């Protein structure tokens, strides 16, 4: 049996005519499968995605040009270290315009003098581009790219959360990180998520779950940043309900049906 072709593993790849194209979502799904399996036959990927071999080859050409995959004799593969590094790089390159809109809107919920904590997500990273609009602020984060970006930014007091470095997420996690978070009380927490299903946040890694929950627990105000792609995947571990956030900043590219579901789940939406 095709190990990638089980019906329940397939992503809905119908083009909804909104922001994120079916091509972009399909390539994200290819990356997800390769991160899980390491290597796949190209013909199996075509079957799993329900597209032609020509389409899969175009997808793989693009991913290879980005340095994310390599092809060997009818298969697509990468060294484990490359796959781990590629996960964050790939996420960071997707939906950039949406993420920047969300980040700009997030800064409107921060005031000068605030202490802000934010997670390792590629969405909240873009807050770095706008944080100087509300300085002076204190920024607490477990995300290495944020630390590198803000380390010399004027009027940003930067506190880096330590712990075990996770290359897949380019950030710090684990017990040491969680214990350090508990020593703070902040004005605002800025978070994103792997996916939203049925009014709840989910992610794949238990350490990521605990870190996000710890950040939420110490914040006076909790802000969730959600781009359109967050509704096309599934993940194993529950993080929180959307109703737990004071504001859910959500991309205007999200379909009206999903917006209705979010409101029914008592999400306080701000369309961006």
Q: What are the domain boundaries of the chain? A: 7-93, 96-271
Q: What integer pLDDT is reported at residue 236 of this predicted model?
A: 84
88 pLDDT band, cuts 50/70/90, is low
User: Which CATH number among 3.40.50.150, 3.40.50.1970, 3.40.50.1360, 3.40.250.10 corresponds to the domain 96-271?
Assistant: 3.40.50.1360
The region, left, alpha or beta by phi > 0 then psi within -120 to 50, assigned to residue 191 is beta
Enter the CATH code of domain 7-93.
1.10.10.10
Q: How far apart are CA 205 and CA 86, in angstroms?
A: 17
* Mean pLDDT of the residues in the chain: 86
Asked if residues 185 and 218 have their Cβ atoms less than 8 Å apart, the reply is yes
Q: What integer pLDDT is reported at residue 14 of this predicted model?
A: 38
CA-closest candidate to residue 119, choices 181, 67, 75: 181
How many residues does this entry show for the chain? 272
**Average pLDDT rounded to a whole number, residues 178-195:** 96
Q: What integer pLDDT is reported at residue 79 of this predicted model?
A: 46
Q: Provide, rounded to the nearest whole percent, the portion of the chain with pLDDT above 70.
A: 85
Asked if residues 180 and 155 have their Cβ atoms less than 8 Å apart, the reply is no
Q: Which residue has the higher pLDDT, 230 or 168?
A: 230
Cis peptide upstream of residue 26 (ω within 30 degrees of 0): no
CB atoms within 10 A of CB 34: 22
Both tokens of residue 180?
Answer: 């350090």
CA-closest candidate to residue 256, choices 271, 246, 241: 271
Residue-wise pLDDT for 23-50, tens only, equals: 877 887 887 787 667 788 999 999 999 9
Domains 7-93 and 96-271 share a fold: no
84 pLDDT band, cuts 50/70/90, is very low
pLDDT at residue 112 greater than cutoff 90: yes
From residue 28, give the alpha-carbon distance in Å to each of 60, 140, 242: 11, 29, 24
pLDDT at residue 13 greater than cutoff 50: no
CB atoms within 10 A of CB 53: 12
């Amino acid at each position: 049996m095709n190990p990638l072709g089980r019906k329940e593993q397939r992503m809905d790849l119908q083009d909804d005519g909104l922001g994120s194209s079916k091509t972009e979502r399909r390539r994200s799904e290819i990356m997800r499968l390769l991160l899980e399996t390491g290597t796949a036959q190209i013909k199996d990927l075509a079957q799993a995605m329900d597209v032609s071999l020509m389409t899969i080859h175009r997808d793989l050409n693009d991913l290879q040009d980005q340095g994310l995959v390599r092809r060997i004799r009818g298969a697509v593969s990468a060294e484990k270290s490359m796959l781990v590094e590629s996960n964050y790089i790939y996420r960071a390159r997707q939906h950039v315009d949406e993420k920047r809109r969300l980040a700009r809107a997030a800064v409107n919920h921060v005031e000068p003098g605030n202490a802000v904590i934010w997670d390792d997500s590629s969405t909240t990273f873009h807050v770095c581009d706008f944080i100087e609009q509300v300085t002076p602020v204190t920024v607490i984060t477990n995300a290495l790219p944020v630390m590198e970006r803000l380390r010399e930014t004027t009027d940003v007091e930067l506190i880096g959360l330590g712990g075990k470095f996770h290359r897949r997420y380019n950030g710090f996690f684990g017990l040491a990180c969680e214990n350090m978070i508990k020593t703070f009380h902040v004005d605002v927490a800025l978070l994103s998520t792997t996916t939203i299903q049925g009014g709840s946040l989910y992610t794949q890694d238990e350490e990521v779950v605990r870190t996000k929950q710890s950040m939420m627990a110490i914040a006076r105000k909790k802000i969730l940043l959600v781009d359109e792609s967050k509704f096309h995947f599934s993940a194993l571990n529950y993080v929180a309900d959307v109703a737990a956030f004071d504001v859910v900043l959500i991309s205007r590219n999200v379909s009206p049906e999903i917006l209705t579901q979010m409101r029914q789940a008592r999400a306080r939406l701000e369309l961006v």
